[in-house]
């Protein structure tokens, strides 16, 4: 039993390593290999929300408006986001992702796609079906 758990641990560790390598490669392609997990999470939140204001992002992330302003300023310098005034109320600013910001926000998803590509290159059709069946059981 112990040996089986160790093999499973090693297999999952290897799978996560491959995914992390793919994520790192995507971030490096964007010129941001030193981006933190928290920063990526904020970009993902902005991406998921679509039209998000400073106040709304502060509420979602449970941060103060000054903290959000500081973070957005940093993202602007990194060319990941830009501010867009609301057409109806010029006092309201939306936080929008640049193309670079979108790539980073979707890096995890893209990394998983790259892992799947590696799997389809490495595993034959029967092995792929077996893996799909096993992974579905993990729900």
Range of the domain at 24: 2-136
According to the model, what pLDDT value does residue 1 have? 67
pLDDT tens for 57-100 read 999 999 999 999 999 999 999 999 999 998 888 888 999 999 99
CATH of the domain at 93: 1.10.10.10
According to the model, what pLDDT value does residue 41 have? 87
According to the model, what pLDDT value does residue 60 have? 93
CA atoms within 13 A on the CB side of 25: 11
**Phi, psi at residue 31, to the nearest 5°?**
75, 25
Count of the separate structural domains present in the chain:
1
pLDDT band at 118 (very low <50, low <70, confident <90, very high): confident
According to the model, what pLDDT value does residue 33 have? 67
User: Which residue spans within 9-108 are E strands per DSSP?
Assistant: 52-53, 81-85, 93-97
């Amino acid at each position: 039993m112990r040996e089986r758990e160790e093999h499973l641990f090693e297999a999952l560790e290897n799978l996560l390593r491959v995914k992390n390598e793919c994520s790192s490669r995507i971030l490096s392609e964007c010129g941001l290999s030193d981006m933190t997990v928290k920063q990526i999470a904020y970009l993902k939140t902005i991406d998921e929300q679509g039209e998000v204001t400073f106040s709304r992002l502060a509420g979602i992330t449970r941060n103060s408006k000054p903290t959000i302003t500081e973070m957005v300023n940093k993202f602007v310098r990194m060319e990941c986001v830009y501010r867009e005034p609301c057409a109806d109320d010029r006092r309201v600013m939306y936080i929008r992702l640049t193309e670079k910001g979108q790539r980073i926000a979707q890096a995890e998803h893209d990394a998983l796609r790259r892992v799947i590509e590696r799997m389809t290159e490495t595993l034959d059709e029967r092995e792929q079906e077996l893996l799909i069946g096993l992974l579905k059981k993990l729900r």
